[in-house]
Amino acid sequence: MNVTFVGTGAIGLPMALRIQQAGHTVTGVDVAEASRQRAQAQGVATVASFSEAPAAEVVVVMVATPAQLAALVDQAGAAADGQYWVVMSTVGPDAVREQGARLRQAGARVIDAPVTGGTARAATGELVIFAAAPTQELATVTPVLSAMGQVKTVGSQLGEGQGIKVVNQHLCSVHIVAAAEALNLARQLGLDPAAVLALVEKGAAGSWMLSDRGPRMLEGTDVTVSSAINIFVKDSGLVVSAAQGCQADVPLLALAHARYLAAAEAGLGQRDDSRVIETWQHTGQR
């Protein structure tokens, strides 16, 4: 299939590569010159705006925020007619419903399909995709989705995939902060955090986030960015908004969200999300 892939950043580029390696024709779109250069260096033709991309059957969206999704739909306009739009960004149920309605009015078919798994699983095609769409529409884009990971059909209505991702990001947000707090506790107790991590991560106290983020928490501020603090500022904020909308009580999430905000305010927004551990240092809790 001919695919326009919007958002060739840290996770978007390996996703686009997987689609291309599966035999589809891919054109990337990214406003950041550095992202375009990285994509082009790895063999993905990439342009700066949606209007520059050739006509495509499928548009995969991996922008960062609801506002960016809205701006992209503005740019697409009537060009979306007849296309299949796969919204894989984490933008929340309200945004995908609102922009999905606009796209459908323009003649597009819309699939709500956020992902989880991070950059490592994006590179190996092992993402988990929470897909919500009418059966036939989902079947049409499955050859593209399957190149990136395992498709989990969660419903047929827009917003159902994003709803699952909200729950997923609640847990991810809390688990990362819990891992940081525990490793900081180990250090305060006079223990070697690396030794503690190795001892506890495979037991009942372990989590995927502890094993994945824990080693990076021990490396230092300049660790390679897999997912930025600002992404979890946004994602945990979406969880807060969704919880408020349905009057759900999420006190643990609120504490985690405050930690990401504190990290961003300390100048760590573009750093790896593992650097949330530095908020204990910045707030004097050492």
Catalytic residues: 165
**With 0-12 CB in 10 A as exposed, 13-18 as middle and 19+ as buried, what is 165?**
buried
Q: What is the dihedral of CA 85, 240, 246, 60, to 10 degrees?
A: 10
CA distances from 101 to 95, 112, 157 (A): 10, 12, 11
From the list 25, 39, 185, 18, the residue with the least C-alpha distance to 88 is 18
Burial pattern 269-280, b for ≥16 Cβ within 10 A else e, equals bebbbbbbbbbb
CA pair distance 149, 193, nearest whole angstrom = 33
What does DSSP say about strands 127-132 and 115-116: parallel, antiparallel, or unpaired? antiparallel
